[in-house]
Protein backbone atom coordinates (compact mmCIF):
# COMPACT_ATOMS: atom_id res chain seq x y z
CA UNK A 1 0.00 0.00 0.00
CA UNK A 2 1.34 3.40 -0.96
CA UNK A 3 0.13 6.23 1.28
CA UNK A 4 0.10 9.76 -0.13
CA UNK A 5 -0.50 13.20 1.31
CA UNK A 6 -4.19 13.77 1.94
CA UNK A 7 -4.96 10.06 2.30
CA UNK A 8 -6.74 8.80 5.38
CA UNK A 9 -4.20 7.08 7.62
CA UNK A 10 -5.33 3.45 7.95
CA UNK A 11 -6.27 2.20 11.40
CA UNK A 12 -4.64 -0.86 12.94
CA UNK A 13 -4.42 -2.84 16.16
CA UNK A 14 -1.07 -4.02 17.49
CA UNK A 15 0.89 -4.97 20.55
CA UNK A 16 3.19 -2.31 21.93
CA UNK A 17 5.45 -1.50 24.85
CA UNK A 18 2.36 0.07 26.48
CA UNK A 19 0.00 -2.85 25.80
CA UNK A 20 -2.58 -3.39 23.05
CA UNK A 21 -3.00 -0.36 20.81
CA UNK A 22 -5.85 0.69 18.54
CA UNK A 23 -4.25 3.46 16.53
CA UNK A 24 -7.36 5.62 16.11
CA UNK A 25 -8.28 5.27 19.79
CA UNK A 26 -4.74 6.18 20.78
CA UNK A 27 -4.80 9.36 18.67
CA UNK A 28 -8.31 10.39 19.67
CA UNK A 29 -8.89 13.96 18.44
CA UNK A 30 -5.21 14.89 18.63
CA UNK A 31 -2.58 15.31 15.96
CA UNK A 32 -0.31 12.29 15.64
CA UNK A 33 3.22 11.33 14.68
CA UNK A 34 3.92 7.76 13.61
CA UNK A 35 7.58 7.00 12.97
CA UNK A 36 9.41 3.79 12.16
CA UNK A 37 12.81 2.49 13.26
CA UNK A 38 14.99 -0.15 11.58
CA UNK A 39 15.54 -2.20 14.76
CA UNK A 40 15.83 -2.18 18.55
CA UNK A 41 19.22 -1.79 20.23
CA UNK A 42 20.61 0.31 17.37
CA UNK A 43 22.58 3.49 18.08
CA UNK A 44 20.85 6.02 15.81
CA UNK A 45 17.38 4.88 16.89
CA UNK A 46 18.41 5.12 20.53
CA UNK A 47 19.32 8.79 20.10
CA UNK A 48 16.14 9.50 18.13
CA UNK A 49 13.78 7.98 20.68
CA UNK A 50 15.64 9.67 23.51
CA UNK A 51 15.39 13.08 21.86
CA UNK A 52 11.72 12.56 21.03
CA UNK A 53 11.06 11.73 24.67
CA UNK A 54 12.71 14.98 25.75
CA UNK A 55 10.34 16.89 23.44
CA UNK A 56 7.24 15.63 25.28
CA UNK A 57 6.26 19.09 26.54
CA UNK A 58 6.64 20.51 23.02
CA UNK A 59 4.35 17.85 21.56
CA UNK A 60 1.88 18.34 24.42
CA UNK A 61 1.72 22.07 23.63
CA UNK A 62 0.79 21.16 20.06
CA UNK A 63 -1.78 18.53 21.13
CA UNK A 64 0.25 15.87 19.36
CA UNK A 65 0.65 12.21 20.33
CA UNK A 66 3.77 10.30 19.33
CA UNK A 67 4.03 6.58 18.62
CA UNK A 68 7.05 4.67 17.30
CA UNK A 69 7.37 1.35 15.49
CA UNK A 70 10.07 -1.29 15.17
CA UNK A 71 9.99 -4.82 13.75
CA UNK A 72 11.01 -6.32 17.10
CA UNK A 73 8.91 -7.75 19.92
CA UNK A 74 7.38 -6.22 23.04
CA UNK A 75 9.98 -7.56 25.48
CA UNK A 76 12.82 -6.22 23.35
CA UNK A 77 11.05 -2.86 23.25
CA UNK A 78 10.67 -2.74 27.02
CA UNK A 79 14.30 -3.67 27.64
CA UNK A 80 15.50 -1.25 24.97
CA UNK A 81 13.51 1.57 26.60
CA UNK A 82 15.54 0.96 29.77
CA UNK A 83 18.72 1.48 27.74
CA UNK A 84 17.30 4.62 26.10
CA UNK A 85 16.33 6.10 29.44
CA UNK A 86 19.76 5.33 30.88
CA UNK A 87 21.91 6.52 27.99
CA UNK A 88 19.80 9.51 26.91
CA UNK A 89 18.86 10.69 30.42
CA UNK A 90 15.12 10.65 29.76
CA UNK A 91 11.90 8.74 30.48
CA UNK A 92 10.26 7.33 27.34
CA UNK A 93 6.49 7.41 27.87
CA UNK A 94 5.14 7.00 24.33
CA UNK A 95 4.44 3.48 22.97
CA UNK A 96 6.67 1.54 20.60
CA UNK A 97 4.65 -0.75 18.34
CA UNK A 98 5.82 -4.36 18.13
CA UNK A 99 5.65 -5.28 14.45
CA UNK A 100 7.43 -8.65 14.17
CA UNK A 101 5.02 -9.79 11.43
CA UNK A 102 5.57 -6.46 9.60
CA UNK A 103 1.80 -5.98 9.26
CA UNK A 104 1.88 -2.27 10.13
CA UNK A 105 5.13 -1.69 8.25
CA UNK A 106 3.61 -3.05 5.07
CA UNK A 107 0.35 -1.19 5.66
CA UNK A 108 2.27 2.08 5.87
CA UNK A 109 4.94 1.24 3.27
CA UNK A 110 7.79 1.49 5.79
CA UNK A 111 9.85 -1.29 4.17
CA UNK A 112 11.73 -0.26 1.03
CA UNK A 113 13.08 -3.49 -0.51
CA UNK A 114 15.95 -1.80 -2.34
CA UNK A 115 17.23 -0.46 0.99
CA UNK A 116 16.45 -3.55 3.10
CA UNK A 117 14.20 -6.56 2.62
CA UNK A 118 13.38 -6.81 6.31
CA UNK A 119 14.14 -3.60 8.22
CA UNK A 120 12.00 -0.49 8.09
CA UNK A 121 13.49 2.78 6.87
CA UNK A 122 13.18 5.96 8.96
CA UNK A 123 9.75 7.04 7.80
CA UNK A 124 7.65 9.59 9.67
CA UNK A 125 4.08 10.71 9.14
CA UNK A 126 2.20 13.63 10.64
CA UNK A 127 -1.51 12.86 10.88
CA UNK A 128 -4.12 15.52 11.65
CA UNK A 129 -7.20 15.14 13.92
CA UNK A 130 -9.30 14.09 10.89
CA UNK A 131 -6.82 11.20 10.40
CA UNK A 132 -5.49 12.73 7.16
CA UNK A 133 -1.79 12.32 6.33
CA UNK A 134 -0.24 15.79 6.22
CA UNK A 135 3.48 15.03 6.03
CA UNK A 136 5.54 12.08 4.85
CA UNK A 137 9.29 12.16 5.30
CA UNK A 138 11.74 9.28 4.88
CA UNK A 139 15.39 9.10 5.88
CA UNK A 140 17.86 6.28 5.24
CA UNK A 141 18.65 4.00 8.15
CA UNK A 142 22.07 5.62 8.61
CA UNK A 143 20.79 9.18 9.16
CA UNK A 144 18.97 10.37 12.26
CA UNK A 145 15.95 12.61 11.85
CA UNK A 146 15.78 16.32 12.65
CA UNK A 147 12.96 16.54 15.18
CA UNK A 148 13.22 20.32 15.39
CA UNK A 149 12.09 20.28 11.77
CA UNK A 150 9.15 18.07 12.72
CA UNK A 151 8.08 20.65 15.32
CA UNK A 152 8.48 23.42 12.73
CA UNK A 153 6.23 21.59 10.27
CA UNK A 154 3.66 20.94 12.98
CA UNK A 155 3.59 24.67 13.75
CA UNK A 156 3.15 25.45 10.07
CA UNK A 157 0.38 22.90 9.51
CA UNK A 158 -1.58 24.01 12.56
CA UNK A 159 -1.21 27.67 11.60
CA UNK A 160 -2.26 27.03 8.00
CA UNK A 161 -5.35 25.19 9.24
CA UNK A 162 -6.42 28.11 11.42
CA UNK A 163 -5.56 31.01 9.08
CA UNK A 164 -5.59 31.57 5.30
CA UNK A 165 -1.82 31.64 4.88
CA UNK A 166 1.21 29.66 3.76
CA UNK A 167 4.71 29.61 5.26
CA UNK A 168 7.89 30.46 3.32
CA UNK A 169 11.23 28.68 3.20
CA UNK A 170 12.92 28.30 6.58
CA UNK A 171 9.90 29.80 8.35
CA UNK A 172 9.78 29.52 12.12
CA UNK A 173 7.00 30.36 14.54
CA UNK A 174 6.76 34.16 14.77
CA UNK A 175 8.16 34.92 11.30
CA UNK A 176 6.18 36.65 8.57
CA UNK A 177 3.93 34.39 6.50
CA UNK A 178 2.83 34.32 2.88
CA UNK A 179 -0.59 35.33 1.56
CA UNK A 180 -1.83 32.72 -0.94
CA UNK A 181 -2.38 33.85 -4.58
CA UNK A 182 -6.07 32.89 -4.27
CA UNK A 183 -6.61 35.98 -2.07
CA UNK A 184 -6.58 39.34 -3.87
CA UNK A 185 -4.44 42.12 -2.42
CA UNK A 186 -7.59 44.14 -1.78
CA UNK A 187 -9.12 41.32 0.24
CA UNK A 188 -5.79 40.61 1.92
CA UNK A 189 -5.68 44.12 3.41
CA UNK A 190 -9.01 43.38 5.08
CA UNK A 191 -8.21 39.81 6.16
CA UNK A 192 -4.74 40.74 7.44
CA UNK A 193 -5.03 44.09 9.27
CA UNK A 194 -1.41 43.90 10.49
CA UNK A 195 -0.36 44.85 6.98
CA UNK A 196 0.49 43.46 3.55
CA UNK A 197 3.99 43.68 2.12
CA UNK A 198 3.68 43.17 -1.65
CA UNK A 199 6.99 42.17 -3.27
CA UNK A 200 5.31 40.95 -6.43
CA UNK A 201 1.58 40.55 -7.13
CA UNK A 202 2.02 36.84 -6.38
CA UNK A 203 4.51 37.26 -3.50
CA UNK A 204 3.00 39.03 -0.50
CA UNK A 205 3.92 38.80 3.17
CA UNK A 206 2.05 39.58 6.36
CA UNK A 207 2.98 39.25 10.04
CA UNK A 208 1.94 35.95 11.58
CA UNK A 209 -1.78 36.46 12.34
CA UNK A 210 -1.84 34.85 15.79
CA UNK A 211 1.18 36.69 17.20
Residue 38 pLDDT exceeds 80: yes
Q: How is the chain split into domains, by residue range?
A: 13-144, 163-206
Domain covering 163-206: architecture:
2-Layer Sandwich (3.30)
Q: Quickly name the fold that domain 13-144 has.
A: Glutaredoxin (3.40.30)
Residue 9 pLDDT exceeds 60: yes
pLDDT at 116: 57
The alpha carbon of 19 is separated from its chain's Cα centroid by a whole number of angstroms, namely 22
Condensed to tens digits (0 to 9), the pLDDT of residues 107-152 reads 998 876 665 545 566 899 999 999 999 999 998 888 999 999 999 9
Q: Please tell me the least confidently modeled range out of 82-86, 100-104, 119-123, 169-173.
A: 119-123
Output 189 or 118, whichever has higher pLDDT.
189
What is the H or E stretch that residue 70 is in?
strand 64-70
Long-range contacts of 77-84 (CB under 8 A, 24+ apart): 77/16, 77/17, 77/40, 78/17, 80/40, 80/41, 80/46, 81/17, 81/49, 83/41, 83/46, 84/46, 84/49, 84/50, 84/53
- Same fold: 13-144 with 163-206: no
Q: Which residues are tagged catalytic?
A: 45
* Cα–Cα dist 127/114, whole Å: 26
Amino acid sequence: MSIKLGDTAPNFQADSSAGKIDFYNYLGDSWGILFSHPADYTPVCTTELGYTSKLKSEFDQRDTKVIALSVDGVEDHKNWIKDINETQNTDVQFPIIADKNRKVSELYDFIHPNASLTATVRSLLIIDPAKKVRLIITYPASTGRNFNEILRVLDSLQLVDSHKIATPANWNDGDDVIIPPSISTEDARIIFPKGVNEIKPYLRYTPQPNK
